[in-house]
Structure 1
Amino acid sequence: MEHNENNPTPENIMKIGTGFWASKILLSAVKFQIFTTLAERKSMSASDIKTHLGFKCTERNVYDYLDALTTFGFLNRDGLLETAMYSNHQDTDFFLDKNKPSYIGGMLEMLNNRLYNFWGTLEEGLLTGLPQNEAKSGGDLFDAIYSDPQKLKEFIHAMSGIQMGNFMGFSQAFDFSKYKTLVDVGGSGALLSLMVAKHQPHMSCVSWDLAAVAPFANENIQKFQLQDRVKTANGDFFKDSFPKADILVTGNILHDWDEETKLMLMKKAYDALPKGGAFVAIENIIDDERNKNAFGLMMSLNMLIETGKGFDYTVSDFKGWANTAGFTSTKVVPLAGPSSAAIAFK
C-alpha cells in the first residue's frame, strides 16, 4: 500500500500484526476439510456446516468464521446469516479440494500441524541461531521426518503443494528442445518429473531421492500413467555422486543448507552434467535489492526455524556460486508467484 508521510496510518501495521488470525482461519478450514466438503455438496448453510463439523460454539461464531472466509475470498455466499448458503470460490475449489490432483493443501496442513507453533519461538531462533522445530531437543529435522511415516507423507505432500505451480510453469517455460534426460535431485513425490514428462513428450525423467520416499513417488507416477518416461532411483545427495543427465534440477533443496553445502551440491551437479547441460534450482529467489520478494525473505527465516543454517538467496548469490562451481552462464526464469528457476549452464 502507498504510504503518505503527511498522513501516517496504522493500517498496514495492524494488518501484518494480526496476520496470524487470518492465517489460522484458513489453516483450520483446510484441517476441517471445509473446501473438500463444499466441493462435494456444492453449497451448505452455516447450520449444516456446524452440524457436519461438530462445532459446539454459537451460531454467531460460525457465521463470523464462514463470513471471514468469504471476506478473504475463499468462499462465496448467497444470502445472509440464517439464509446464507456457502460455496467454494473457484480458487479454493481447484486448489483445496482434497479429491482433485490440483490440491495444494499439503503445505497448508504442514503449516498448521508443524510450523504454526514453531514460528511462535522465532525470537528464540534469532537470539540463539538454533532450529525451533523437532531438532530443538537435539535431533535432526530430516531424521525426525523420515523416521515417522505420517510426518514423511505430510512433508512430501507439503513440498508437492508449495511447488506444483512452479513445476507446471517450468515444464512449459523452459526450452527443452536440446535435451532428452532430466534428473530431479531430492525429487520427493516426483511431481516435477511428471510435469516435465507430461508437457514434453520427448523427455525421460528420474526422480532421485532417499529410498523411504520412493513409494510416494511411485504412487504419483501410477496416477499420471507415465511409468514409461518417469522412474524413481534411490540415492543420498550428501554421500553419492549425482546421476548423469542433460538437466539436473533441485526444488527447494539449496535453501535448506549453508553456503558451503550449497556450493558442494552445485559442484556435484556440474560434475554430472554434459557440456551444454543445465542445472536448475527452483526456489523463492530473492530480488537483488532485497525489498520486493517478501515471501522469499519469510521462507529464508523459515529455514532458520527448520535448519538453523539454511537461507534463501538472491540472483547475484546464485550467479556467484555458479561461477565458482565452473558454470559458464546463468539466467533466471520467473515462475508462479514469488518463485523462479535459477539456471546455470555448463
Structure 2
Amino acid sequence: MSASPLAPVAQARTILQLNTAYHQAKVLHTAVELGLFELLASGPATVEEVKKGLGIAHPLAQEFLDALAALGLLEAVGDRFANSGAATAFLVPGSPSYLGGSVLQHARKHYRVWGELTTALREGRAESGAEAHGPEAYPKHYADPDKARQAMAHFDTFSSFTADELARRVDWRPYTSFVDIGGARGQLASRIALAHPHLSGAVFDLPPLEPLFDELAAARGVADRLRFYGGDFLADPLPEADVVVTGHVLPDWPDAQRRELLRRIHGALRPGGALMIYDLMADPESESVHDVLQRLNHGLIRGDSSSCTLAECHASVEEAGFEVTRTEQLDNLLGDWLIVATKR
C-alpha cells in the first residue's frame, strides 16, 4: 500500500493559523485591559507616548501596536498610532456600542474556562466557570458590587444589539406593557422603552441589581416608565404584562425548571399576551462555525445546562399553553433565534 501524499502546505498553514488563533484574542484583551483605545481617543501617539501613558515596560510595545494595526484596530499615521474607525465605534469607553465590557469578561473569565476545556470534557463539568456563572452562582456573584458591574458591562454588550433588533422587528403597537425576565440592569428594557415611548416596562431579576437598574434607568431618562422587581423567578410572583421577554435565561436551568418558568410566565401574561424568547438554539440546517462555537461556549460557562434545539423550545413553549407564531434568526452579535408565541 502506497503512502498517502503529504497535505498541501496551504492546508497545514490553515491548521497552524487555527492553532494560534488565540494570539489575536489576547492582543485584543490586553489592549482593552491596558486602556489603549481610551488613551488614543484623545489623539494619535508614538510608541514611547503609549508606553508612558499606559505604564508599559516591555520592549515588545512596538510589535504589540503593529499587531493591533495588522488586525485593523489601529492605524499607523507616520510614527504614531491612532484608533481605527472600528475601535472608535466599539472599543472606546462611553461609546453607545461599546464592546469592551464583553472583551474584559472574556479576558478575565471565559479565557480561563476555555483553558480547562480538556478537563471539563473528561470530568463532566467546567469547574472553573462556577465562580461567576450558573444559576446557583448568580446571587453570590451579584452581592459584590464590583463583580456585578463587570458582569453587567458584559451583558449590556449583547443586550444593546438584541434590543434594537426587537424594537425594530416586533410590532409593539398592540401592547402597552412588557417585562424582561432576567433582564439584568435594564439595558434591553430601556432601549425598547426609548424606541417605543407608549410602552411601560419592568425588569425582574435578583435584588442586588436594583441599584444598578435605578442608575441606568435614570441616566436613560426612562425611570418614569420602567420598574424593577427583585426576586426569584422560579418562586416569587411575576409581574403582569402584555409581553414577556426573556433571553439567555432558560438554558441556565435543567429541563424541569425551564418548563416551570414557562408555566409561570404563561400565568403572568394578560389574555392574548405575547412571549418573546431569544437565545442560542440549535438548527442543523443553518448553523455556522460561529453558532456551534457559541453554543459550546455557553455550555461551558453555564455548567450543567445547555442550549436546546428550536424544535425542543417550540415543544416546551406549546406545552406551557402558547401558540408559536414566529421564528426567525436575529441579526445580533450571537445570531440568536427569536421565538414569538401568544398565550392561548
CA drift of 1:298 comes to 2.6
Q: Does 1:259 align with 2:255?
A: yes
* Inter-CA distance 221–260: structure 2 relative to 1 (3 Å threshold): same
**What SS does the aligned partner of 1:311 have?**
coil
Q: 1:116 aligns with which of 93, 111, 114?
A: 111
Q: Does 1:29 align with 2:24?
A: no
Task: Provide the rounded CA distance (Å) in 2 between the counterparts of 1:265 and 1:299.
Answer: 24
8 Å Cα contact 2:101-2:150 kept in structure 1: yes
Give runs of aligned pairs for residues 55-74 of structure 1, distance below 5 A. 55-58=56-59, 61-74=60-73
CA drift of 1:129 comes to 2.0
8 Å Cα contact 1:270-1:327 kept in structure 2: yes
* Inter-CA distance 191–23: structure 2 relative to 1 (3 Å threshold): same
User: Which shifted more, 277-286 or 153-162?
Assistant: 277-286
Other-structure match for 2:315: 320
Runs of at least 4 residues of structure 1 off by over 4 A? Answer: 5-8
Task: Provide the rounded CA distance (Å) in 1 between the counterparts of 2:48 and 2:172.
Answer: 52
* Inter-CA distance 8–34: structure 2 relative to 1 (3 Å threshold): closer
Task: Provide the rounded CA distance (Å) in 1 between the counterparts of 2:316 and 2:291.
Answer: 19
8 Å Cα contact 2:259-2:320 kept in structure 1: yes
* Inter-CA distance 242–298: structure 2 relative to 1 (3 Å threshold): farther
* Inter-CA distance 24–202: structure 2 relative to 1 (3 Å threshold): same
Q: 2:168 aligns with which of 168, 172, 176?
A: 172
CA drift of 1:207 comes to 1.3
Percent identity, please: 26
Q: How many residues align?
A: 333
Task: Provide the rounded CA distance (Å) in 2 between the counterparts of 1:336 and 1:183.
Answer: 20
**What SS does the aligned partner of 2:185 have?**
coil
CA drift of 1:181 comes to 0.4
Task: Provide the rounded CA distance (Å) in 2 between the counterparts of 1:208 and 1:96.
Answer: 29
8 Å Cα contact 1:280-1:342 kept in structure 2: yes
* Inter-CA distance 101–327: structure 2 relative to 1 (3 Å threshold): same
User: Which shifted more, 145-154 or 329-338?
Assistant: 329-338
Other-structure match for 1:340: 337
Give runs of aligned pairs for residues 137-286 of structure 1, distance below 5 A. 140-286=136-282
* Inter-CA distance 147–33: structure 2 relative to 1 (3 Å threshold): same
8 Å Cα contact 1:132-1:305 kept in structure 2: no
Q: Deviations over 1:54-113 (max 9, x none)?
A: 11111xx2221112111111112223xxxx321112222122111334322111111111
Task: Provide the rounded CA distance (Å) in 2 between the counterparts of 1:16 and 1:261.
Answer: 38
8 Å Cα contact 2:117-2:126 kept in structure 1: no
**What SS does the aligned partner of 1:277 have?**
strand
TM-score, normalised via structure 2 length: 0.89
* Inter-CA distance 7–101: structure 2 relative to 1 (3 Å threshold): closer
8 Å Cα contact 2:113-2:126 kept in structure 1: no
Task: Provide the rounded CA distance (Å) in 1 between the counterparts of 2:82 and 2:230.
Answer: 43
Other-structure match for 1:45: 46
User: Which shifted more, 218-227 or 297-306?
Assistant: 297-306
8 Å Cα contact 1:133-1:141 kept in structure 2: no
Backbone CA RMSD of aligned residues: 2.3
Letter in 2 for 1:165: F
